[in-house]
Amino acid sequence: MARLFGTDGVRGLANDELTPELALGLASAAAVVFGHDSVRDARPRAVVGRDPRASGEMLEAAVCAGLAATGVDAIRVGVVPTPAVAFLTADYQADFGVMISASHNPMPDNGIKFFSGGGHKLDDAVEDRIAATMAEEFARPIGAAVGRVVDAVDAGDRYRAHLAAAIGNRLDGLTVVVDCAHGAAFELAPQAYADAGAEVIAIHAEPDGLNINEDCGSTHMDKLRAAVLEHGADLGLAHDGDADRCLAVDSTGQVVDGDAIMAILATALRSRDRLRDNVLVTTVMSNLGLHIAMREAGITLRTTAVGDRYVLEELRRGGYSLGGEQSGHIVVPGSGTTGDGILTGLLLMEQMAATGERIADLARIMTVLPQELINVRVADKHAVAQSQTVKQSVADAEAELGDHGRVLLRPSGTEQLVRVMVEAGSADTARAVARRIADVVEAAGS
């Protein structure tokens, strides 16, 4: 039986796969689990936030009903980024937090993710406890024991103050175009950058419940690139629907991805003696160029499986200072418990202000190696990945590429696909080697 929870909460087509009934059941089960674990004498309470998509209104009502019906007070913080819910869960001293969002997914989708009392993402064991509790019967409170639902009018101000405290330099003199993806950061991102002194030009900051992520944001950056050139801005920043991601555009319109942002921030932290053990944590999908750049800078790269939750686990395990993904999920544990796109944008601009350098100059610390990715549909992805013929083809390719390239072969997490990724010194080499391995994978999987 498939797990209810995916790599980032419970996600699906709203009102079809993710129904109000399911949302109510999830919230009630989470209330039982976290209420049981609560060490507070007072009634348990939970922070509830959402992104602007239309179905969020319906699911928010269901979540709050599920919490109240289980004797938990719901602190409703409205439309805020996912990292704001993580921060506010800790700041309000709540027992847990609930974010209703499908992140960068299209508008018809939605999702529900939970944070523990300190604002941390849940591990598999806690998620499985919540899923199991949904099938159990439990006593429902009555009278004064029923939970209450209150609106937190100061939530945005608290989060903005938290962001302002995370940087030490003003951003006066910098002009930034911020693409809000018609998402959860449509107000808070422009405000936070302006609070720090930047001149802000906001685009795609008019959510109507239906246009979130529509041809904009961190997955569609052409309009941001054009706006940076049109306004002669110093840089552009792109967030996704729930603003836990940040990608950048330099003054010439070139994209600066999560790998380059991590390289900039890691070297900045190291120069200030604030990079714990000189370690940067990232996933296996980060470009080999990042590995080479960090090695030359005296920084150790620790890699995890794909997914920001695995980066977070490694950061917490080692007490490290910085980690993230190529997609723009950047985590700075000293200033937050999860990926925070607005914080990333502030730290990136702070480094520009501190050095007087353009983002293009800062990003030159790493050279991106050409990458070729081929998805091969197979009958049994796990059997193919263990095939000796496939393993030999990968070994032969790695020997051919040497220190100037690499091969990554991994089964898809959701489909019967094997992903073949090759990085090499030239695009032609990467393409040829990837095609050769993909042919072997296809033959083994037929």
Q: Of the candidates 350, 346, 342, which has an alpha carbon nearest to the alpha carbon of residue 188?
A: 342
Q: Report the 10 Å Cβ neighbour count for 367.
A: 13
**Residues contacting residue 16 through CB under 8 Å, at least 6 positions apart:** none
Q: Are residues 333 and 379 in the same domain?
A: no
Q: What is the pLDDT of residues 173-204, one digit of tens each?
A: 999 999 999 999 999 999 999 999 999 999 99
Q: Are residues 385 and 248 in the same domain?
A: no
**Where in the sequence numbering do the catalytic residues fall?**
103
- Answer yes or no: is pLDDT of 1 > 60: no
Token duo for residue 226: 């054009």
Residue 104 burial by Cβ neighbours in a 10 Å radius (0-12, 13-18, 19+): buried
Instruction: State the chain's mean pLDDT as an integer.
Output: 94
* Residue 178 and residue 200 in contact, taking contact as beta carbons nearer than 8 Å: yes
Structural domain includes residue 150: yes
Distance separating alpha carbons of residues 258 and 280, to the nearest angstrom:
13
Distance separating alpha carbons of residues 94 and 86, to the nearest angstrom:
10
User: Is residue 157 annotated as involved in ligand binding?
Assistant: no
SS3 218: helix
Q: Are residues 359 and 383 in the same domain?
A: no
Q: What is the pLDDT of residues 5-37, one digit of tens each?
A: 987 899 999 999 999 999 999 999 999 999 866
Vertex 338: Cα angle to 67 and 249 (nearest 5): 125
Q: Are residues 259 and 283 in the same domain?
A: yes
pLDDT score at 2:
65
* Residue 110 and residue 101 in contact, taking contact as beta carbons nearer than 8 Å: yes
Structural domain includes residue 162: no
Q: Are residues 184 and 224 in the same domain?
A: yes
* Residue 85 and residue 51 in contact, taking contact as beta carbons nearer than 8 Å: no
Name the helix (H) or strand (E) containing 47: strand 45-50
User: Is residue 244 annotated as involved in ligand binding?
Assistant: yes
Structural domain includes residue 161: no
- Answer yes or no: is pLDDT of 138 > 90: no
Domain C-terminal end among 119, 154, 189: 154
Residue at token pair 């941390």: 120
Domain C-terminal end among 302, 333, 363: 363
**Residues contacting residue 314 through CB under 8 Å, at least 6 positions apart:** 281, 302, 304, 320, 323
Token duo for residue 190: 């422009």
Distance separating alpha carbons of residues 349 and 147, to the nearest angstrom:
43
Name the helix (H) or strand (E) containing 95: none
Distance separating alpha carbons of residues 192 and 213, to the nearest angstrom:
21
Structural domain includes residue 163: no
**Residues contacting residue 66 through CB under 8 Å, at least 6 positions apart:** 23, 24, 25, 26, 27, 28, 31
User: Is residue 240 annotated as involved in ligand binding?
Assistant: yes
Task: Identify any residues that bridge with 300 across adjacent strands, giving them in sequence order.
Answer: 279
Q: Report the 10 Å Cβ neighbour count for 356.
A: 8
Q: Are residues 195 and 342 in the same domain?
A: yes
Q: Are residues 356 and 403 in the same domain?
A: no
- Answer yes or no: is pLDDT of 413 > 80: no
Structural domain includes residue 406: yes
Q: Domain holding 147: CATH number?
A: 3.40.120.10
How far does CA 382 lie from the centroid of its chain? 27
Distance separating alpha carbons of residues 310 and 113, to the nearest angstrom:
16
Structural domain includes residue 202: yes
Domain C-terminal end among 363, 389, 422: 363
Token duo for residue 184: 């959860």
Domain with 316 in it = 170-363
pLDDT score at 445:
82
Q: Report the 10 Å Cβ neighbour count for 245.
A: 28
- Answer yes or no: is pLDDT of 141 > 60: yes
Q: Report the 10 Å Cβ neighbour count for 379.
A: 10
Token duo for residue 292: 């080479």
Distance separating alpha carbons of residues 188 and 194, to the nearest angstrom:
10
pLDDT score at 37:
61
Structure confidence at residue 301 as a pLDDT band (50, 70, 90)? very high
Domain count, the chain: 3
Q: Of the candidates 385, 248, 251, 270, which has an alpha carbon nearest to the alpha carbon of residue 320?
A: 270
Q: Are residues 287 and 338 in the same domain?
A: yes
The percent of residues above 70 in pLDDT, for the chain, comes to 98
- Answer yes or no: is pLDDT of 80 > 90: yes
Vertex 46: Cα angle to 42 and 49 (nearest 5): 155
DSSP string, 240-257: -TTS---EEEETTS-EE-
Q: Domain holding 425: CATH number?
A: 3.30.310.50
